[in-house]
Amino acid sequence: MTATQETQTVRTEETAADRLDRISAAAYRIRHHALTMGEVQGQGYVGQALGAADMLAAVYADQLRFQADNPDWEGRDRFLLSTGHYAIGHYAALAEAGIIPVEELETYGSDDSRLPMSGMSTYTPGMEISGGSLGHGLTIAVGMALGLRHQGSAARVYNFLSDGELDEGSTWEAAMGAHHHQLGNLTAMVDINALQADGKTDTVLRTEPVTEKWEAFGWYTQRVDGNDAGALLAAFDNAAAQAAAVGRPSVILCDTKVGRGVPLLEHREKAHFMRIEEHEWQICREQLTAGYEGKASR
């Protein structure tokens, strides 16, 4: 029996509250890791990583089947990071999952590191694709889902994309293709932080109404608070029950807050590339921990 199967056996006896606590704890650690990496660089996509941490935690601590010591295991579920610059958050999740050592996170973005600023499959264990040129992830996910199903694999494909990637026509080519090919083994997660490189999404290129768009493309569509672990878990459970079995691709639209979990950053003017002063990193960590412990004790 694999380690993964053992974990799942334990999980069947887990209460809903325990499950939620497990995800919340993972999200806390992912955020903590992201701050550590951000401090090494002095800047970076920390705001996005904090915003997406609950999504990443729900995926890595609850949904994905993988073997930490064998990231290329054939039966693994695939998690495709389309937004390469979110790698800081993804590395944090890979460390949380035990796929890369926590100590290695300090090499983030440094010369000869396995953890480059933009995520690439050729550099990092557990990184399935080279993202970064936006609008690619969902097209690759369609091929992977087709290929896995064709070969009789029960593995699922998860594509993490940003609301900015909804600007790209290729995303919608892939959305059509997934529905046409009835890819019930495909789940897309869209991080809607309403922020793009040049400003707020609704001032750059209006993507709303996002829910109606995905519904019109034939996907089982849910829109949730992407910083609410309970809502995320419920959405995954719904998708598994409602969509996967009938061959319908599933999308979870996640409204998130840039900088989530660190009030100092939540209230700072939102920017694609957030500047954090040297003395602020410790404050950020303290605020994160205080918030998490406060919530945990309630």
Binding site for other proteins (CB under 8 A): 78, 120-122, 128-130, 132-133, 135-136, 138-148, 150-151, 153, 169-170, 173-174, 176-177, 180-181
CB 185, min distance to other proteins, A: 11
Residues 6+ positions from 61 with CB-CB distance below 8 Å: 22, 23, 26, 96, 97
Compare residues 71 and 135 and give the one whose CB is closer to other proteins.
135
The secondary structure of 76-143 as a DSSP string is: PPEEEE--GGGHHHHHHHHHHTTSS-GGGGGGTTSTT-SS-SS--TTTSTT--S---STT-HHHHHHH
Compare residues 38 and 135 and give the one whose CB is closer to other proteins.
135
CB 125, min distance to other proteins, A: 14
Compare residues 30 and 144 and give the one whose CB is closer to other proteins.
144
CB 55, min distance to other proteins, A: 21
CB 172, min distance to other proteins, A: 9
- Give the integer Cα–Cα distance in Å for 96 and 266: 23
CB 216, min distance to other proteins, A: 16
> CA angle, corner 92, sides to 193 and 42, nearest 5?
75
* C-alpha R_g of the chain: 18
Compare residues 26 and 145 and give the one whose CB is closer to other proteins.
145
Compare residues 50 and 175 and give the one whose CB is closer to other proteins.
175
Going by the DSSP 8-state scheme, the letter that residue 54 receives in this structure is H
Name the residue type at position 190. Answer: V
Map tokens 């010591």 to a residue: 69
CB 246, min distance to other proteins, A: 20
Residue 86 near residue 162, CB atoms below 8 Å: yes
CB 291, min distance to other proteins, A: 38
CB 150, min distance to other proteins, A: 7
Least Cα distance to 23 among 146, 265, 193, 31 occurs for: 31
Compare residues 47 and 84 and give the one whose CB is closer to other proteins.
84
Map residue 69 onto helix, strand or coil.
coil
> CA angle, corner 156, sides to 225 and 175, nearest 5?
65
Compare residues 74 and 278 and give the one whose CB is closer to other proteins.
74
> CA angle, corner 155, sides to 150 and 158, nearest 5?
105
Compare residues 150 and 267 and give the one whose CB is closer to other proteins.
150
Residue 261 near residue 51, CB atoms below 8 Å: no
